[in-house]
Amino acid sequence: MRGLLLASAIAMALVTSASAQEDYRRQVLGYLEHGLERHAAAGYAAERTVPDLITPLELGRPYLWSVYLLAGVNYRVYGACDDDCSDLDMEIYGADGDFAERDDARDDTPYVQITPASTGRHYVRLWLYACAAEPCYIAARVVSGGRPTERAAETAEQTR
């Protein structure tokens, strides 16, 4: 009897945990969808060949996301995080491993831009700077085809 109760309790906890995870996933996906407007205004559209990233993340544990990009195409990668997160940062590296761009402004909607010189695997590094209840769920999306913009004026008022 005791074993049956324990098994039932574990099963209920797993169902509750899975339900909470799905809620967070839906939340960050919604923020990602809403964030597309900003990038669409610059001519970008979702890159359907690269699936969205949705994952839990903890402070001090960056996530390295490998994305396959084509030479000469303008790309942006933008992110969002759940309501427990107030600062998500990211940077992107070229296929050669060289640093290309970073967004470490104090916000939860970072983006980076790149126009690759060569086709291949590029890497986006994402990390949390502020998360009230770990893990925080994050999402990121690759968009392409737009016009790269100068970031100096845009980020000057947001930087640390």
Query: What is the pTM assigned to this prediction?
Result: 0.83
- pLDDT, mean of residues 46-67: 97
pLDDT tens digits along 91-104: 999 999 999 999 99
What pLDDT, on a 0 to 100 scale, did the predictor assign at position 126?
99
For the chain, give every domain's residue range: 2-156
User: DSSP state, 52?
Assistant: P
User: DSSP state, 160?
Assistant: -
The CA radius of gyration of the chain, in Å to the nearest whole number, is 18
Question: For 2-156, CATH number?
Answer: 2.60.120.380
pLDDT tens digits along 138-160: 999 999 999 998 875 454 444 44
pLDDT tens digits along 107-125: 999 999 999 999 999 999 9
Residue 116 neighbours by CB distance under 10 Å: 19
Residues 106, 89: Cα–Cα separation, whole Å: 8
What pLDDT, on a 0 to 100 scale, did the predictor assign at position 88?
98
What pLDDT, on a 0 to 100 scale, did the predictor assign at position 13?
44
What pLDDT, on a 0 to 100 scale, did the predictor assign at position 156?
43
**Residue type at 25?**
R
